[in-house]
Amino acid sequence: MSTDAKDVARRFYEEIFNQKNIHSIDRFCTTDFVDHNPPPGGKGSLDATKQQFLELVAAFPDVKMMVEDQIAEGDKVVNRVLVRGTHKGEYMGIPASGKTIEIGGIDILRMVEGKAAERWGYFDDVTLMQQLGAMPPGPK
């Protein structure tokens, strides 16, 4: 299963985020999908995930997620991803800045019959806020 799960995970990022295809969420996620790490104030359900996707694409219309590394074991796929985009719309109360962002993240997807049933994810939100000018840069 690990090779198939890796392929599904790569297509998940490609079709949903890189091609901006919200309808692919239903093809890649189970109907009872749970996101265990939704954004602040987020719910974590499939419908909430779709809404968060729309908000992300509105804020970063050119967003791309590239899978840098993958590890699959049992029913889980760990993905180290790189996210790039341009801040062209409001994001978490921060007005569009036109700034380019690049952050890393880790997503763990639990797969059931070729679909993501659960997600745990951690992205470098501090670096994102620094790149958007919402936080001062860290020490060098």
Residue 107 CA to residue 91 CA, distance in Å, equals 21
Residue from 93, 136, 119, 115 nearest 26 by CA = 115
pLDDT interval class at 1 (50, 70, 90): very low
CATH-assigned architecture of domain 2-131:
Roll (3.10)
The owner of tokens 């997807």 is 109
Break the chain into its structural domains and give their ranges: 2-131
pLDDT at 71 over 70: yes
The whole-model pTM stands at: 0.89
pLDDT at 88 over 60: yes
pLDDT tens column, 4-51: 899 999 999 999 999 999 999 999 999 999 999 988 777 899 999 999
What contacts 111, CB < 8 A, 6 or more positions away? 1, 5, 8, 9, 75, 76, 77, 117
